[in-house]
Structure 1
Amino acid sequence: MSHAKAKIVVLTGAGISADSGLKTFRDSGGLWEGHRVEDVATPEAFARHPQRVLDFYNERRRQMLAAAPNAAHKALAALEPAYDVAIITQNVDNLHERAGSTRVLHLHGELAKARSSVDEAYVVPCLGDQTLADVDPHGAPMRPFIVWFGEAVPLIDTAIEWMRDADKVLVVGTSMKVYPAAGLLQYASPQAEVSLVDPHPPTGLTEIEVIAKIAKEGVPPLVSSWLK
């Protein structure tokens, strides 16, 4: 008689990508790679200056493809033979997939895809630069497959369902104060074991295992302990 595998849900944020050399979302001045968020990460920005927005995400995509998964990404992928693993990420890079993780939900979209600006269901792979000449089958412009500021997060309900089923929850590289991470944790079962790997964890966390290290240093030993 086979036993069902325990379910681990991993919630990852910018910190795990930072360990692969990808810059975190915004610097202390509120700029993203020198740009105001309003100029590159809103539907209005795309309507006003589509080329500037495409250029911005083309550069992000090139950075992503030049980066490699780090030890934290690889450790999470190594959990899959022993556990039912689901990763919920706020990151738009494909480093989890390239490390070997097979079940990854991207809350904020994916750099490796493009979508129709009119038909949300028309999504295609995109590993090169997007241009203004890229259109969907009906001639509508293609846009980055990114959830921009002011847009709904379409996969949040799926993320909530995954969180409710988790036996273990691991939070990596995202503060427990920022939505949607903090919001998702409230859906975890009271019986779920929760661990946090973050170099600057918030104070006052109780009932949570806190590992105050960067992702690539904190995740592999934790995963090793779970695989023993």
Structure 2
Amino acid sequence: MERICVLTGAGISAESGIRTFRDADGLWEGYDVMEVASPMGWAKNKELVLDFYNQRRRQLLKVKPNDAHKALVKLEERFDVQIITQNIDDLHERAGSKNVTHLHGELLKARSTFDEDLVMDWRKDICIGDFCEHNSQLRPHVVWFGEAVPMFQRAAEITKKADILMVIGTSMQVYPAAGLVDFAPPSIPIYFIDPRPNITESGNLEIIEKKAVEGVPEIVERLLNRNNKV
């Protein structure tokens, strides 16, 4: 069974109503990202950081997977599909994808500030005074700027084994995630789906200049039809 590695970013979830991570002037919904997404911001104002992610969590619980998320699930009928996402939402899982690696953490989880391996499911607000079993404050289970990306090595190993690579809704400008493409075997087909691509088409790289909800179902149908003819 051929292996498809899918790298997804904010663009795929934006079409479900999840606001994109960061716009051109370095703000995230009016916040300086370093105030709400860095260890320094956490040390400075925990209440602000918790409130910011509490708002994001409430928003996430109100939205649904879109046609791009659902189309990727169809690929599992005929391919070994591994999704590596930069997004902290659970829309891939809710759509039905079985193999999802979250590079930057998960919004619907909390973790201990005493033991980073102590992670728990968490769908409500995280408040000051919400402690783990070690009597330490809980924080969002999200990778902030300046922190290590624990799942990167796993993601790199998945990418190395790919027969086909799909890149959806991400500029691939934020490292280390942007470096994952370099781990893909040379000359495998790469489909880059984005309405405003920042790269140019080349030999094995095909650009689909469309939104995820349009471009992903198109490529999925093409791959499924191609596989039917083999």
Output the TM-score relative to the length of structure 2: 0.94
Aligned length: 224
Match of 1:57 in 2: 53
1:133 aligns with 2:129: yes
Aligned ranges for residues 6-21 of structure 1 at < 5 Å? 6-21=2-17
Task: Please state if 1:226 is matched with 2:218.
Answer: no
Unpaired runs of at least 5, structure 2: 226-230
Q: Distance in 1 between matches of 2:33 and 2:7?
A: 24
Give the root-mean-square deviation of aligned CA atoms. 1.1
User: Structure 1: how far apart are the matches of 2:29 and 2:103?
Assistant: 21
Q: Does 1:180 align with 2:176?
A: yes
Matched, 1:81 2:82: no
Residue segments in structure 1 that go unaligned for 5+ positions in a row = none
The percent identity for this pair of structures is 53
1:109 is matched with 105
- For 1:202, the equivalent position in structure 2 comes to 198
In structure 2, what is the Cα distance between the partners aligned to 1:71 and 1:141? Answer: 38
The 1:77/1:65 distance shift into structure 2, 3 A limit, reads same
Q: Is residue 2:129 matched to residue 1:158? A: no
Deviations 1:189-226 (A, max 9, x none): 01421111011112433120110001001000110111
Greater shift in the superposed pair: 166-175 or 30-39: 30-39
* CA distance in structure 1 between the aligned counterparts of 2:115 and 2:191, rounded to whole angstroms: 39
Task: Please tell me the residue identity of whatever aligns with 1:216.
Answer: V
- 2:209 paired with 1:212: yes
**Cα deviation per residue 1:64-98 (whole Å; 9 max; x = unaligned)?**
11111000000011111211110000000110011
CA deviation after TM superposition for structure 1 residue 177, in Å: 3.4
Contact (CA 8 Å) 1:38, 1:45: kept in 2 or not?
A: yes
CA contact (8 A) 1:195 1:211 kept: yes
Residue 42 of structure 2 corresponds to residue 46 of structure 1: yes
Which range moved further: 202-211 or 66-75? 202-211
Q: Structure 1 length normalisation: TM-score?
A: 0.95
